[in-house]
Every structure is written in structure tokens, then in C-alpha cells.
């Protein structure tokens, strides 16, 4: 849907950059689907009224979240560990027990809630994609296959009662009618309950110039300024914030009904940091655009030169982010022969859009000879380089495309 007004506050939005025609990032395709792909115009804008960074056109949600959703959160051991830690922290800090109720919005394959389920704490995972929801059910996680909105929240409330904790990680950027979702959360949470959201941070995206965070499923990139403005509408406020390095830099917001919790100093510091980098100024986005155009040129020129000198180049990791890099930088199978990835939902398929690079299981990486390997899953650099140590021993070189092109 094209929207010239901000999806959050409905005021006019300032569009500042177009990435051209894009497929849906997670729509890895089979050979016979190559000619029937869906494309949309990927343009981004910034709302100077409520400070939300967002896509101008958004494909229909059912086109993105359905029975074929390719992202499986549990493919990374580091991420499994990360969500286990969050579960332990919540159970301890909020003194959860077998009378508590935890809701997760965007529960994917149950990576987080299985920790809560193991402790016999009542919970419900809501996910719009049926395939991942089924996986989480098979892991003993109580799951509801639905889009989360005010109506879903009211239905959950009447079946289960209000929630002590609502967790939503890497999902707030997926929800087109975000007002309905935030309102739903405010109706579902107990008076003294806490909503915890975690998403890639706009501040980190600007600092790292990680434009590959932008794709259809990421229709918003949230900041403290924008998330505060959204929840303020429903009488809620951010009372704490913690940053981490996952997904290239995420912010975890702790949100409660107004005046229920003490506002942590972290909130003031973070606000100051956002202001320091000019996060709410249009000129910051003009500079981001300029750097992104330069980054595209640098990467495309680099790969083209390698290819001209007959180097063999493969890729590692086919995250949603790679769909933006490949399609925006016009990189296809003539430059990158294949990409190795460990997601069952991607293996044997092709990267979407014009790129059409075949995806193979990572178990074949070690025995496959290539001189260069571009790490699209650059946010998992430590885990992957550690796992694939033998590649360097065979003189293989890693190309890290983001934040700054480097070869190691
Ligand atoms: P990720 O960066 O987690 O997500 P997004 O799609 O939101 O950008 O995706 C990482 C991809 O890399 C995913 O397709 C799985 C793959 N991967 C491997 O193949 N091996 C690994 O060891 C790791 C950590 C990831
Ligand atoms: Zn707005």
C-alpha cells in the first residue's frame, strides 16, 4: 500500500530515498517461481512529527507472513543463547511463577518462549506465519497463528486474562497497523506489567550505515524517540532501555503504563545520544542517502574487479538483509556463484528478485573451493568465522560488506 502520510501519526511524511524495485526480502524462491515474483517500490521516509523512519510502500502483510516464512530464529546458537538469557532475566526481575502470564508477539519458531514453557509458566506465542507457529507448537510452546492487533489482544485477554509481561522481539518493525498493535498491548498488559520490545536500532543503522536493515518486513526502524511517541498515545512510557550488538545493533525498550515505574538514567543518556547524532533531523537522512549510494558503488566495483581477474566468489548467509544488498547493488549469479546458508527454508532455493543466486547448505562450504566469500550475515561474523576456521587456512578471504567494506 502506498502511503504519503506517516503510518503512526498520519501527518505528511518526508520521502528521501528510493532503492528501486525490490522483492520481499524473505521470499526465497524455487526455480519455477522465478517469473512470478512480486516486486514493490522500496522508498523510505522520515516523519518529522513523530520521528518514525518508515517505508513509503508496504506490500500486503499476507504476502510476507504466511505458510512459507523463511526466517527461522533458531538457526543461530548465539541467538538461542541470547533469548534464553532474556527469559532468565525476566523470570528473575519480574518474579514470574506458575501464576504469571507471558505473551510473545512474533514468537517465530519458539526460540524465546520454549524457555518460559520449560519453567511451566503460562504463556502464549502469537505469530502470523503458520509454518513457524507450527514449529513452535511442536516444541511445546502454546501458540496462536494470528496477526496481533487490538482485536487479537482483546480475544487473548478474555481467554487468558491480562499479561504480566509482553515480549516482542524483532517484530515491531513488521506490523503495518502499528497503532492497533500498540493499543492492543496497552489493553492486554496488567496495570503494573511490562512490555519489552527489541528491534534493530535506528541510531545504529545510521552510525553503521547498515542500509540492509531496510526491506519490506522492516517497514519501520525504531528509535527511542519514535517508540516513545507511539506508546505515549496509549498512556504508556519507556522507563528503561538496554542496547546490544545483535542484528547489527538493537535496542531493548522497557515500557509500562505512565507513572508506574521509575524512569532509568539509561533513557536520558540514550535520548542525549540520539540528539547528538541528529536522529530527528532531515539533514541526517540526506547524509545517510549519500553514504548508501557510495557504499553501493564501492561494493559493486570491488566485486566486478575480482570477477574480471577470474576470482571465484561465493556468499555466506542469506539473511533478509542480503536481499536488499543484492538487489540494490545489482549483484547477481554472474558475480556470486552460490550462497551457503543453514536454514532448511532457504536451501535449494534462489535469492529473490533479480539476484537469483542458488542457496546451498553450509555443510558443503568447507569442501567447496572459492577465493573470496562475502559474508552477508555480517552481524554473525564472530560465530561464523569461528565455525569456518578452515576457510582462512586454505587462504580463503572473507569480504565483510557492512559497516565498511573490508577484506579479512
Ligand atoms: P539474520 O542475520 O539472523 O537475520 P535477518 O534475516 O533478519 O537479516 O540471518 C542470518 C542468516 O545466516 C540466516 O539465513 C541463517 C544464516 N546463518 C548460517 O547459515 N550459519 C550460521 O552459523 C549463522 C549464525 C547464520
Ligand atoms: Zn509520524
Ligand 1 pocket member 144 (CB < 6 A)? no
Instruction: Give CA–CA dist 262/355, Å, rounded.
Output: 49
Rounded to an integer, the average pLDDT of 314-341 is 98
- pLDDT, one tens digit per residue, over 368-390 is 999 999 999 999 999 999 999 99
Which atom of ligand 1 lies closest to the CA of 25? 6
- pLDDT, one tens digit per residue, over 228-286 is 999 999 999 999 999 999 889 999 999 999 999 999 999 999 999 999 999 999 999 99
Ligand 1 pocket member 381 (CB < 6 A)? no
Residue whose CB lies within 8 A of the most ligand 1 atoms, among 72, 78, 316, 319, for a mutation test: 319
Q: How far is the CA of 135 from the centre of ligand 2 (A)?
A: 36
pLDDT at 203 over 70: yes
- pLDDT, one tens digit per residue, over 118-166 is 999 999 999 999 999 999 999 999 999 999 999 999 999 999 999 999 9
Percent of the chain with pLDDT over 90: 93
Which atom of ligand 1 lies closest to the CA of 321? 8
Give residue 2's pLDDT band: very low, low, confident or very high (50, 70, 90).
Answer: low
Tell me the pTM: 0.94
Closest listed ligand to the CA of 45: 2
DSSP structure string for 148-182: -SHHHHHHHHHHH--EEEEEEES-TTT-SSHHHHH
pLDDT at 207 over 70: yes
Which residue puts its alpha carbon closest to atom 12 of ligand 1? 317
Give residue 76's pLDDT band: very low, low, confident or very high (50, 70, 90).
Answer: confident
Q: How far is the CA of 77 from the centre of ligand 2 (A)?
A: 37
- pLDDT, one tens digit per residue, over 291-305 is 999 999 999 999 999
Q: How far is the CA of 168 from the centre of ligand 1 (A)?
A: 19
Structure confidence at residue 3 (pLDDT)? 58
Rounded to an integer, the average pLDDT of 95-112 is 97
- pLDDT, one tens digit per residue, over 36-56 is 999 999 999 999 999 999 999
pLDDT at 1 over 70: no
401, three cell numbers: 560488506
Which atom of ligand 1 lies closest to the CA of 379? 2
pLDDT at 222 over 50: yes
Rounded to an integer, the average pLDDT of 193-215 is 97
Structure confidence at residue 60 (pLDDT)? 86
Q: How far is the CA of 317 from the centre of ligand 1 (A)?
A: 5
Q: What angle do CA 120, 81, 389 make, to 5 degrees?
A: 150
Closest listed ligand to the CA of 379: 1
Percent of the chain with pLDDT over 70: 99
What mean pLDDT, rounded, does the chain reach?
Answer: 96
Give residue 65's pLDDT band: very low, low, confident or very high (50, 70, 90).
Answer: confident
pLDDT at 108 over 50: yes
Ligand 1 pocket member 339 (CB < 6 A)? no
**Helix residue ranges, H only, 329-388:** 381-387
Note whether 94 and 153 are within 8 A (CB): no
> 186-190: long-range contacts at Cβ-Cβ below 8 A with a sequence spacing of 24 or more?
186/231, 186/234, 186/235, 186/236, 186/257, 187/150, 187/153, 187/154, 187/157, 188/103, 188/153, 188/154, 188/156, 188/157, 188/162, 188/163, 189/162, 189/163, 189/256, 189/257, 190/162, 190/163, 190/164
188, three cell numbers: 492486554
Ligand 1 pocket member 318 (CB < 6 A)? yes
Report all structural domains of the chain as residue ranges with CATH numbers, in order of start: 3-56 (no CATH), 73-272 (3.40.50.150), 284-407 (3.40.50.720)
Residue whose CB lies within 8 A of the most ligand 1 atoms, among 28, 75, 316, for a mutation test: 75
Which residue puts its alpha carbon closest to atom 19 of ligand 1? 341
Ligand 1 pocket member 70 (CB < 6 A)? no
Which residue puts its alpha carbon closest to atom 1 of ligand 1? 319
Amino acid at each position: 500500500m502506498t502511503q504519503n502520510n506517516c503510518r503512526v501519526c498520519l501527518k505528511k511524511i518526508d520521502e528521501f530515498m528510493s532503492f528501486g524495485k525490490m522483492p520481499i526480502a524473505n521470499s526465497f524462491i524455487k526455480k519455477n517461481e522465478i517469473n512470478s515474483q512480486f516486486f514493490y517500490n522500496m522508498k523510505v521516509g522520515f516523519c518529522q512529527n513523530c520521528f518514525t523512519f518508515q517505508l513509503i510502500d508496504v506490500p500486503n502483510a499476507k504476502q510476507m507472513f504466511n505458510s512459507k516464512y523463511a526466517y527461522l530464529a533458531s538457526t543461530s546458537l548465539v541467538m538461542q543463547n541470547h533469548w534464553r538469557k532474556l527469559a532468565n532475566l525476566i523470570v528473575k526481575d519480574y518474579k514470574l511463577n506458575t501464576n504469571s502470564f507471558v505473551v510473545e508477539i512474533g514468537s517465530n519458531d519458539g526460540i524465546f518462549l520454549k524457555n518460559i514453557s520449560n519453567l511451566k509458566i503460562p504463556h502464549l506465542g502469537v505469530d502470523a506465519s503458520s509454518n513457524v507457529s507450527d514449529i513452535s507448537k511442536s516444541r511445546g510452546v502454546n501458540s496462536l497463528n494470528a496477526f496481533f492487533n487490538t482485536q487479537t489482544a482483546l480475544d487473548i485477554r478474555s481467554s487468558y486474562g491480562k499479561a504480566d509481561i509482553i515480549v516482542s522481539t524483532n517484530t515491531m518493525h513488521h506490523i503495518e497497523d502499528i497503532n492497533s498493535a500498540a493499543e492492543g498491548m496497552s489493553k492486554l498488559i496488567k496495570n503494573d506489567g511490562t512490555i519489552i520490545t527489541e528491534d534493530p536500532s535506528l541510531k545504529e543503522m545510521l552510525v553503521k550505515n547498515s542500509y540492509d536493515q531496510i526491506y519490506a518486513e522492516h517497514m519501520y526502524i525504531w528509535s527511542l524517540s519514535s517508540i516513545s511517541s507511539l506508546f505515549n498515545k496509549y498512556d504508556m512510557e519507556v522507563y528503561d532501555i538496554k542496547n546490544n550488538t545483535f542484528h547489527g545493533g538493537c535496542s531493548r525498550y522497557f515500557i509500562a503504563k505512565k507513572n508506574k515505574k521509575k524512569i532509568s538514567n539509561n533513557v536520558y543518556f540514550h535520548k542525549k545520544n540520539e540528539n547528538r547524532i541528529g536522529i530527528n533531523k532531515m539533514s541526517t537522512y540526506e547524509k545517510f542517502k549519500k553514504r548508501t549510494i557510495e557504499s553501493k558503488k564501492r561494493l559493486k566495483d570491488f566485486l566486478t574487479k575480482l570477477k574480471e581477474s577470474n576470482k571465484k566468489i561465493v556468499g555466506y548467509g542469506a539473511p533478509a538483509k542480503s536481499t536488499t544488498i543484492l538487489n540494490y547493488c545489482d549483484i547477481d549469479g554472474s558475480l556470486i556463484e552460490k550462497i551457503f546458508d543453514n536454514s532448511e527454508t532457504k536451501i535449494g532455493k534462489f535469492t529473490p528478485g533479480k539476484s537469483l543466486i542458488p542457496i546451498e547448505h553450509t555443510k558443503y562450504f568447507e569442501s567447496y573451493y572459492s577465493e573470496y566469500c562475502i559474508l552477508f550475515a555480517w552481524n554473525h561474523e564472530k560465530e561464523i568465522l569461528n565455525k569456518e576456521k578452515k576457510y582462512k587456512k586454505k587462504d580463503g578471504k572473507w569480504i565483510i560488506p557492512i559497516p565498511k567494506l573490508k577484506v579479512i
